Amino acid sequence: MRLPRGHADPDPDPAASMALLEEVLDPPLGPGYHSAAQARTEQGLPASSGTRTWLMFGTTLVLGVLLTTAATTLRAPDPAEAAGRAQLVERIEEAERVGDERSLQVDALRAEVGELEQQALVADSGGSGEAIAAAAVSAGGVAVAGPGVRLTLHDADEPADDAPGEDAEPERINSRDLQLVVNGLWRAGAEAISVDGHRLTSTSAIRFAGQAIIVDFRGLTPPYDVLAIGPPEELMAELTTGATGAYLAEIDRQLGLTSDVSAAGEVTIGAADRLSTRVSSVVTGEPPTAPSPGGLPTAPSRGEEPR
């Protein structure tokens, strides 16, 4: 019915407006569920049968019990596994103990065999045991002890001032540095030398492999500890004021490769590890004299491959 012009619509029902507003702002979870519940309500039945609610509750309860049981079972220690682990630890400790005992026995037997060999050599050589013992010392076949010096070489902490590029790395001690130091000690009268515990002999080689220094095929790690047995005064003079000392001072000034030198009243150097005699002959006469120290060696180019 069309209202006459000038007449206003009657006021809408406030409750209906509020219900419409609530339905717009807070719609039901699903229109289908809402329609089904409303249909049941119109028929005088409850909105929900309740069976589904109890089924969901039971399912949730069962799942909670199962999850709790699984978590408790996983957290509980397995007795069989714990027993196996304890047995394995016990076997390892027993093996280590037996290994230590066998190592001590091997050292004792090795010393006994050395004494027997020495006695046999003296008896067969007609009294030349002292010469044989001296030859064993020179060849690095036996451990020696006596006064000497200790030298420690360190890699640089920071790149050199004139190093090109921002990604320049600090300089490192290379094999040529160790070769010059060792040759200088031999020249100064050293009787035995070791580098990081490795005894040097006439067949030892100091080489550079990539960024690592190897001595007799064994890699070294910085800092490099050099021990030398010999006259302490001559060895200290060579490492401080001699040609080797000047070289060490030069690489320290130019490259930041520092070194520590000190005299030692008692130095012990073990026997060489991989020592074997292939060919030998009797040498008569005086041994050749050591070469005289040459001129001051120049600092090597860090990119040059040592020889």
Q: Write out the two tokens for 210.
A: 């990539």
Q: How far apart are CA 152 and CA 150, in angstroms?
A: 7
Q: What is the mean pLDDT of residues 298-303?
A: 52
pLDDT over threshold 70, residue 304: no
The pLDDT of residue 292:
43
Average pLDDT over residues 221-244: 93
CATH architecture label of 143-160+169-273: 2-Layer Sandwich (3.30)
Confidence tier at 212 by pLDDT (50, 70, 90): confident
Mean pLDDT on 26-34: 65
> What residue has token string 């001051």?
296
Q: pLDDT tens digit string along 157-196? A: 887 666 666 667 888 999 999 999 999 999 999 999 999 9
The pLDDT score that the predictor gives to residue 190 is: 92
Return the axis-axis angle of helices 232-240 and 243-255, rounded to nearest 10°: 40
Burial category of 159 from C-beta neighbours within 10 Å (exposed 0-12, middle 13-18, buried 19 and up):
middle
Q: What is the rounded average pLDDT for all residues in the chain?
A: 77
Using a 10 angstrom Cβ sphere, with 0-12 exposed, 13-18 middle and 19 or more buried, the burial of residue 191 is middle
* Res 305 pLDDT > 60: no
The predicted pLDDT at position 84 comes to 83
Cβ burial of 53 (10 Å; 0-12, 13-18, 19+) is: exposed
Domain ranges, ordered by start, for the chain? 28-75, 143-160+169-273
pLDDT band (50, 70, 90) for residue 132: low
Mean pLDDT of the region 110-120: 73
Using the predicted structure, report yes or no on whether residue 129 has a pLDDT greater than 70.
no
Q: Would the pLDDT of 266 be above 70?
A: yes
Q: What percent of the chain has pLDDT over 90?
A: 23
- The alpha-helical segments, DSSP class H, found in 156-301 are 175-187, 232-240, 243-255
Strand partners, 263: 149
Beta bridge partners of 271: none
Per the model's pLDDT, the better-predicted residue between 204 and 149 turns out to be 149
Q: What is the per-residue pLDDT for 149?
A: 95
Least confident range of 236-240, 265-269, 273-277: 273-277
Arithmetic mean of pLDDT, 20-46? 71
**Tokens standing for 291?**
């070469």
8 Å CB contact between 259 and 184: no
Range 108-117 average pLDDT: 77
